[in-house]
Chains A and B, each alone.
Chain A
Amino acid sequence: NAGVMQNPRHLVRRRGQEARLRCSPMKGHSHVYWYRQLPEEGLKFMVYLQKENIIDESGMPKERFSAEFPKEGPSILRIQQVVRGDSAAYFCASSPLGGQSYNEQFFGPGTRLTVL
């Protein structure tokens, strides 16, 4: 039973380019959470999605960031017109029981985004 998969593991972009980060949840999990970790910081919640629905995007920056979790395929976190401050590790987590406080989330290995 494969764990949460994220790709690419490392992504380098120049300022102004687009970054696309992909996440495949664990088998049987239909709840996906995205988090961002800046250097020397803890993980910060960005967005929570179920299949075809954004449930909570209260942690997402208002501009340039978007997320989706289509009926088929992985969840995608998209960052348009990247800036240096977007450089961070982006982690995806999946859960069998999202939408409530009592849920254990299982994390992928992360995508490390570097903006030159």
Chain B
Amino acid sequence: DQQVKQNSPSLSVQEGRISILNCDYTNSMFDYFLWYKKYPAEGPTFLISISSIKDKNEDGRFTVFLNKSAKHLSLHIVPSQPGDSAVYFCAASAKGSQGNLIFGKGTKLSVKP
């Protein structure tokens, strides 16, 4: 029973264009969402987060959008750079929880020069 779903295992984008990574969730108690980037043989690196009281959060080239009614969030990277090539994980934590994160399976982004 996957509570956080990333339905695209991989995504290929041309350098300079926009990358859009999608994430769906099923648990209506989730109130905090995070995106992590992971290179092979390294730990996940925190990128950006959003609380359920917002619908958008922006940090440089990274913007996260939250659509609560659709239980959907997306990460936009613009412009995409070859160094962005990595696996991106969507994660969520639930209101009233101890903060443990529920992760999706990840989307592998390849940015081609």
Contact = CB atoms under 8 A, between A and B. Distances in A.
Interface in A89-104: 91, 93, 95, 97-104
Contact of B42 (A102, A105, A110): A110
A101 B33 CA distance: 9
B70 to A, nearest CB: 20
A42 B43 contact: no
Given A43-B44, A91-B43, A110-B42, A59 B100 contact: yes
Interface of B: 4, 30-32, 34, 36, 41-46, 49, 51, 89, 91, 93-106
A3 B54 CA distance: 29
A72 interface: no
A65 interface: no
A33 interface: yes
Central interface residue in A43, A55, A56, by most chain B CB within 10 Å: A43
Interface residues of A, number: 34
A101 B43 contact: no
Interface of A: 4, 6, 31, 33, 35, 40-45, 48, 55-56, 58-59, 91, 93, 95, 97-110, 112
B55 to A, nearest CB: 17
